[in-house]
Amino acid sequence: MSYLRGNLPHNPDFPTVAEELRKLIKRTDELEIQNKAAQQKINQYEKDIVKLNNRCDSFGHKIQELEAKNLMLENRCKAVDQNALARLINSRIANPEHVLTPLKEAATNLPIKNFPKHEKDIRTMAAPEITSTLRSLDQPTTGPTSDQKTRLRQAVGRDITTPTSALKAPPPSSASPSDPPAASQPTRPPPAKRAMSVQDKKLAGIKAAKAKLAQNRQYGGVADPRVRKRGSLAGSTAVDVGAEGGKKGVGVGEGED
């Protein structure tokens, strides 16, 4: 018993214990308050994260819409280029029986259903087919069927109103009508023709020389037949032609010894 009395603790200090308990409770309350504030911040963070996720989703949808619009714009640009080339090819078709180059849908760049194979097929197309084809080409669908067919021929490049002669006409000259016409430049003949011309000139010169030689021989070596050789022969006659009245005088003279 003495051993137990010696090892038993002293009587506890209840006021001190109570004070420590009050401090512990106060600290616990402070921790709870801090935990509530932290929990509120955590909840606010969660709400902000949800809003951020929603914005990201919205941005994702907008990006998808932009990609779709970009694809549509790309298809439209391709359709415009291909349709322009097809219209150019169709406008140069001379034979109406020739197959038309098909056009593509303006919005999707896909082949157009029931596109006319020949120009003559447009005349036999039904009204719904014409309307659908015009709508695929982004063309107006108003007016009677005859106007729609004309519009469709224009859309495929076959309604050519400009005459062919006007397309082949030379461009107008920039000179004014009062300006004198420009002198035409002499064209130089080809070498073969130019050689023949020189040869012809040589032959003509030879013929002229032969004719003059024969004439000289005929008139005694004098080229002009009106000139006579004056000699010492008696009874030579000189004929003088008067300038006035066309009178003629004849004189007879004797020759000198």
Q: What is the pLDDT of residues 24-41, one digit of tens each?
A: 888 887 788 778 888 888
Chain centroid to CA 92: how far? Answer: 16
**Is position 82 within any domain?**
yes
**Is position 143 within any domain?**
yes
pLDDT of residue 194: 53
pLDDT of residue 161: 53
> Pairing state of beta strands 248-252 and 237-241?
antiparallel
Domain of residue 93, residue span: 12-160
Q: How far is CA 144 from CA 119, 131, 148, 151, in A?
A: 19, 11, 6, 11
Band (16; pLDDT cuts 50, 70, 90): confident
**Is position 71 within any domain?**
yes
pLDDT of residue 220: 57
Domain count, the chain: 1
- Percent share of the chain, pLDDT over 70: 64
Cβ-based neighbours of 119, under 8 Å, separated by 6 or more: 93, 96, 100, 153, 156, 158
**Is position 144 within any domain?**
yes
The mean of the pLDDT values for the chain is 74
**Is position 72 within any domain?**
yes
Q: Within 13 Å and on the Cβ side, how many CA atoms surround 198?
A: 6
Cβ-based neighbours of 106, under 8 Å, separated by 6 or more: 76, 79, 80, 83, 136, 137, 138
**Both tokens assigned to 116:** 């006319």
**Is position 197 within any domain?**
no
pLDDT of residue 7: 55
Between 209 and 128, the more confident residue is 128
Between 144 and 234, the more confident residue is 144
The DSSP 8-state label assigned to residue 121 in this structure reads G
**Residues 31-57, mean pLDDT to the nearest whole number:** 87
| pLDDT tens by residue, 147-196 | 999 999 999 998 755 433 334 445 555 545 455 545 555 555 555 555 55
Band (6; pLDDT cuts 50, 70, 90): low
**Residues 66-85, mean pLDDT to the nearest whole number:** 92
Between 234 and 56, the more confident residue is 56
**Is position 236 within any domain?**
no
